[in-house]
Amino acid sequence: MFTIDLGAKVKSSISGFAGVVSSRAEHLNGCNRYWVQPPVDRDGKMMDGSWIDEGELIVEVAPVLERKNQNRGGFPSSIK
């Protein structure tokens, strides 16, 4: 079970890396990880995100973004 919502603004308690949760993964060993996407840089370029363990994350603001597409399942558009 995930404890952090998609779209939440989070920060790593270890590295200070911060951003918005845009994806999450549940692993067989019980470890939940979240993809944290930082904001764009000063030049408007997208910075690299990072997978971070659930226990390391501090929720700063919950959720700042909403899911745009609630449709689940089907093929990715590149396969159609």
- Average model confidence (pLDDT) across the chain: 86
- Listed as ranges, residues in the chain with pLDDT below 70 are 65-80
Closest-CA residue to 49 (of 72, 25, 29): 25
CA 62 to chain centroid: 12
pTM score over 0.85: no
pLDDT at site 45: 93
pLDDT at site 8: 94
pLDDT at site 63: 79
Residue 21: burial class (beta carbons within 10 Å; 0-12, 13-18, 19+): buried
Cα(20)–Cα(59) distance, rounded to whole angstroms? 10
